Amino acid sequence: MDPGTLIGISLAFGSLIISMVMEGGNPASLLLPPAMLLIFVGTFGVAMASGLLKDATGIVKQFKVALLAKVTPANDLIDTLVSLADKARREGLLALEEASRGIENPFLKKGLNLAIDGTDPEELRDIMESEIDAKRNADKQGAKFFNDMGGFAPTLGVLGTVVGLVHVLENLSKPDELGKLIAGAFVATLWGVLTANMFWLPMGNKIKRISGIECAQMELVVEGIMAIQAGSNPRVVAQKLRSLMPDAAPAADKKAA
């Protein structure tokens, strides 16, 4: 799990609360149920209306991706592939059948089993690349849903403020309550801008980032499986995979040595 998202959102909300306190405001004044209902439920509703029902029902899964996704370090993945290439070169491809049982990465395990079963290299590449494309498209749609919510939230906040100001005009005969009513009307706009820029848009960008890393590592696995199936030298495999993931170069060099 990468804590960056939780830490970032906590810092953003914390800075807002602290700034309100420093200016003499009361953070509890933000907790207006009507405004929060409009922003959270209304934003989700219009985002659902702009897509398919399955996009909305998959929001829980996308939350887990953004907050709990565990990205395997590229170094570890390259080490595993180089080790498999070395074993396959010394003992043959069928010797990897037992080793594949201890592999936790489902994509690597699937590709390795296909290679062991004697799948044609071109067909194997097509199968694995199709799975990468499917994942990339699914993640893209998940990120779009959050980005759509980030776009709709400020507008709904303005709508909530307009509704609040209408209520203010209905109570002009009560001057003692006007200040409170006007302040309450603008809370909706605050929540709209706040959720868009401190939550929905960051979540969408995090999903894009995680998807990019995972798809890049899946492509790394494809190249590694192809090299293993071809019986390439482990040193060559390490150098090839290192070129695809430059950040993993130091560990890859050490492993190859």
SS3 content of the chain, % helix, strand, coil (to 5): 85, 0, 15
The least confident of 24-28, 118-122, 130-134, 232-236 is 24-28
Separation CA 62–CA 206 (nearest Å): 10
| Rounded Cα–Cα distance for residues 39 and 180 (Å) | 20
pLDDT at 72: 74
Question: Of 13-22, 166-175, 230-239, where does mean pLDDT reach its minimum?
Answer: 166-175
Radius of gyration of the chain (CA): 26
Q: Looking at residue 119, what DSSP letter applies?
A: -
Of 62, 23, 236, 45, nearest to 142 (Cα)? 62
Q: State residue 100's pLDDT score.
A: 81
27: pLDDT strictly greater than 70: yes
What is the pLDDT at residue 126? 93
Distance of CA 33 to the CA centre of its chain: 29
pTM of the entire structure? Answer: 0.80
For residue 50, name the pLDDT band (cuts at 50, 70, 90).
confident
Mean pLDDT in residue range 82-106: 85
